[in-house]
Amino acid sequence: MHYLITGGAGFIGSHLADELIGRGHTVTVIDDLSTGSIRNIAHLRGHDRFQYRIADMLDAPLLAELVDEADATFHLAAAVGVQLIVESPVRTIETNVRCTELVLELAAKKKKKVLITSTSEVYGKSMDIPFREDGDLVMGATTRGRWSYACSKAIDEFLAIAYWREQRLPTVVVRLFNTVGPRQTGRYGMVIPRFVAQALANEPLTVYGDGRQTRCFTHVDDAVRALAELMTCEEAVGDVYNIGNNSEISIFDLAGRIRQLTQSSSEIVYVPYSVAYEENFEDMPRRVPSIDKIEEAIGWKPECDLDQIIRSVVDHQRAEAPVLI
Ligand code: UDP
């Protein structure tokens, strides 16, 4: 197959490119490098089944050509990272909604299948743990910037499902839960690369809030395996799937574990949400996926545990050397 990956120079997109090429497919990447990096795909340059275009995602003639040339599209291009979302809400909403609209509109012309990546953020403040795909989405007020991300991705989901129901464009929606691994940057807020960088530098580990909020972390290798397999799963069309690991840890315990695994002397400090993000910032107290549905559809289960996830980020950060492009 020939796949197009939007946002393919991003952290998850670049691992997906590796996975698909490893499975014998051909991959084209489009990325505007807003949060992605050429460095993430540098090792693929020159591969005879890989090509990339650095371009604006909203360049409709170009995107139309790339969608047409491919057999199917993985749409990953999005504004992500809570830090970025809080700082640039206009960019978040516009990027997330407009890009998805355009990809779906163009794909619908030739009935080319699209897999849309959404996020566990859409569950918002729901306390109905574990989060099942058919559960309610509980968002906060529109005056609180964070929720713009969840709402913009929820619109993407509605749109993808609507294209399937109304125009028979085959679409699949996935909700990714805190995906982590090599190449992820802490620049946009992601906690594990941030804590690892802090621990390796023996700087304080910055726990936001009281540290009792929990998350479940998924290794990117597990996540991209799920993406590749859901794309070809007939029963997944027109439907929504969680992709996540269901092993839960508090952010305070996470900081302790990272300090231990890196043998760091960093202290753990608490930073109020109002300082870390903005006044009135709301966090999710718990976020745990139900993964029954994806297991039933494609037999997928995560294989990497938290220690392996942390170690992969530590190894990457220790080995990282500038790549000249
Ligand atoms: N967090 C933290 N310190 C940091 C960055 C994040 O304590 O330096 C917290 C953040 O407030 C959240 C959790 O770690 O409760 C996960 O944050 P991340 O941005 O990785 O993903 P989110 O689950 O918020 O999308």
Q: What is the pLDDT of residues 101-132, one digit of tens each?
A: 999 999 999 999 999 999 999 999 999 999 99
DSSP alpha helix (H) spans, the chain: 11-22, 60-69, 82-87, 89-110, 147-167, 191-200, 220-231, 251-261, 273-276, 292-298, 306-319
Indicate if the pLDDT at residue 5 is higher than 90.
Answer: yes
Confidence band of 300 (pLDDT split at 50, 70, 90):
very high
Question: CA–CA separation, 253 vs 261, rounded Å?
Answer: 12
Q: Using an 8 Å Cβ cutoff, are 124 and 181 in contact?
A: no
pTM: 0.96
Parse the chain into domains and list their residue ranges.
2-177+219-244+287-303
Q: Using an 8 Å Cβ cutoff, are 275 and 207 in contact?
A: no
Q: Using an 8 Å Cβ cutoff, are 25 and 229 in contact?
A: no
Q: Using an 8 Å Cβ cutoff, are 112 and 171 in contact?
A: no
**C-beta neighbour count of 317 within 10 angstroms:** 18
- Is the CB of 213 within 6 Å of ligand 1? yes
CA 36 to ligand 1 center in whole angstroms: 20
Q: Which atom of ligand 1 is nearest to the CA of 283?
A: 15
Q: Does domain 2-177+219-244+287-303 have CATH number 3.40.50.720?
A: yes
Query: What contacts 215, CB < 8 A, 6 or more positions away?
Result: 177, 178, 191, 248, 249, 251, 254, 287
- Is the CB of 178 within 6 Å of ligand 1? yes
Question: CA–CA separation, 220 vs 11, rounded Å?
Answer: 9
Q: Using an 8 Å Cβ cutoff, are 173 and 240 in contact?
A: yes
Tally the residues of the chain: 325
Q: Which atom of ligand 1 is nearest to the CA of 213?
A: 15
Q: What is the mean pLDDT of the chain?
A: 95
DSSP alpha helix (H) spans, 140-184: 147-167
- Is the CB of 208 within 6 Å of ligand 1? yes
